[in-house]
Amino acid sequence: MKQTLVIVTHPHIDQSVVNKRWIEELEKHPDQFTVHQIYEAYPDGVIDVAKEQALVEEHENLVFQFPVYWFNCPPLLKQWLDEVLAYGWAYGSTGDKLKNKKFMLALSAGGQEQVYSESGDYQISLDKIFVPFELTALYV
């Protein structure tokens, strides 16, 4: 079982600086990380749920890597979460496939750190913006 699955969700990875650099570094350690770019894997937006679930099961940890996209994640990641984290697999009376897995976020943001604070332009921190991810991890 590989250690960490990094689910990269960047709708315009060719224009990225930070996310491309992270991918380059992660790919230097294929024994530790599997880099899975879902916009590349599913350009038509049709997700192979069984394939994704099998990939998740092969790893101990999950990292969701993405740019902050309208104070949320890019749409394909939301779709991935909705479809892959299915009842009976991720949660529910028989949904135990994510039990004891660690979840992490690797976020890139176009703004400076201070804009994501109570006194900043957006008047809220990234920690608060991404509480739904924390709740999802706790739920599954």
Average pLDDT over residues 15-42: 96
Q: Cα(39)–Cα(22) distance, rounded to whole angstroms?
A: 16
* Residue 57 CB-half CA count within 13 A: 13
In degrees rounded to 5, what are phi and psi of residue 132? -55, -30
Residue 2 has a pLDDT of: 76
Interval 126-137: pLDDT, tens: 889 999 999 999
Instruction: Specify the CATH number for 2-139; select among 1.10.540.10, 3.40.1190.10, 3.30.360.10, 3.40.50.360.
Output: 3.40.50.360
State yes or no: pLDDT of 111 exceeds 90.
no
Q: Does pTM surpass 0.85?
A: yes
C-beta separation of 52 from 5 below 8 A: no
Mean pLDDT computed over every residue of the chain: 95
Structure tokens at 60: 């101990």
State pLDDT tens for residues 61-82: 999 999 998 999 999 999 999 9
Structural domain spans, the chain: 2-139
